[in-house]
Chain A
């Protein structure tokens, strides 16, 4: 019997939206106040949904403690209290929540105990982003 398991994680980070492909005026125009030179920050929430058959013995899709340990090591330890622009993964792409969502999805792809369905990134109370692979 297939079931879905959702888990939410939290981290805080700063970022600045800016691309060298545009000049200063166009960066300002496209990114608005998110282009302010010193950056700003958010409390991010990550929601990951895994799926799989419910194990007949444990009654679980996967071990939540294993998922937590994976998220702690591969997501939270990487992003929490960081300036996203300084991370290698954003060396050649803008740290928008869209790109962050895709990167987090790709990280959770490495969790092998269940099937990854989708990742949702909430940047503020008013905006969120989802990615479920191509």
Chain B
């Protein structure tokens, strides 16, 4: 088995706020991220697939197809959007880095021909990322 990772970038706005909590509780839990006008990030997405190397092509997956699937299912949906207001994935969950990784996994799982989705990594900043590998 070999792992292959493809990266893509998108920019989006978000904020953290739980309606059932008071303003004080939200600010205590989320700090500056509780500003309901939103702020934003340049996100980097890393999608890792696992499979066997095709003995003839030398590839584990069709790279062009993987790029197109990532673009269609994730980047084209999230890029230059406000995750709280415009993306159905975050209607009932906060668009934290963790939840974005899980949402991206759900969008991609079963859609990559010839290889198995192994890991989704989402960077919110260069020094902060979340990994999701499905339910292990």
**Residue A93 interfacial (CB < 8 Å):** no
Interface string of A4-45 (1 = CB under 8 A from B): 000000101111000000000000000001101011111100
Chain A residues whose C-beta falls within 8 Å of the C-beta of B13 in the assembled complex? 14, 38-41, 83
Interface size on A, residues (CB 8 A): 21
**Residue A49 interfacial (CB < 8 Å):** no
**Residue A80 interfacial (CB < 8 Å):** yes
B11 CB to nearest A CB, Å: 5
Residue in B38, B42, B86 whose beta carbon sits within 8 Å of that of A125 in the complex: B42
B132 CB to nearest A CB, Å: 21
Chain A residues whose C-beta falls within 8 Å of the C-beta of B39 in the assembled complex? 12-14, 41, 80-83
Nearest neighbor of B87 in chain A, beta-carbon distance? A38
**Residue A124 interfacial (CB < 8 Å):** yes
- Contact indicator A125/B9 (Cβ below 8 Å): yes
- Contact indicator B33/A40 (Cβ below 8 Å): no
A47 CB to nearest B CB, Å: 15
Residue in A10, A33, A38, A82 whose beta carbon sits within 8 Å of that of B79 in the complex: A33
Residue in A14, A34, A36, A80 whose beta carbon sits within 8 Å of that of B38 in the complex: A14
Interface string of A69-102 (1 = CB under 8 A from B): 0000000000011110010000000000000000
**Residue B107 interfacial (CB < 8 Å):** no
Q: Whole-angstrom distance between the alpha carbons of A81 and B39 in the complex? A: 5
Q: Whole-angstrom distance between the alpha carbons of A26 and B6 in the complex? A: 36
Nearest neighbor of A41 in chain B, beta-carbon distance? B40
If A36-B80, A38-B13, A38-B86 touch, whether A43 touches B35 (CB-CB below 8 Å) is no
Chain A residues whose C-beta falls within 8 Å of the C-beta of B35 in the assembled complex? 81-83
- Contact indicator B37/A40 (Cβ below 8 Å): no
- Contact indicator B9/A36 (Cβ below 8 Å): no
- Contact indicator B42/A39 (Cβ below 8 Å): no
Nearest neighbor of A85 in chain B, beta-carbon distance? B37
Interface string of B1-25 (1 = CB under 8 A from A): 0000000010111100000000000
B73 CB to nearest A CB, Å: 17
Enumerate 18 A-B pairs (CB-CB under 8 Å) in ascending A order.
A12-B125, A14-B39, A33-B79, A33-B80, A36-B81, A38-B13, A38-B38, A38-B82, A40-B13, A40-B79, A41-B12, A41-B38, A41-B40, A43-B41, A80-B39, A81-B33, A82-B37, A83-B39
Chain A positions near chain B (C-beta within 8 angstroms): 10, 12-15, 33-34, 36, 38-43, 80-83, 86, 124-125
Can you list the 5 inter-chain pairs with the closest CB atoms, starting with the nearest?
A: A41-B40, A38-B82, A81-B32, A83-B37, A14-B13
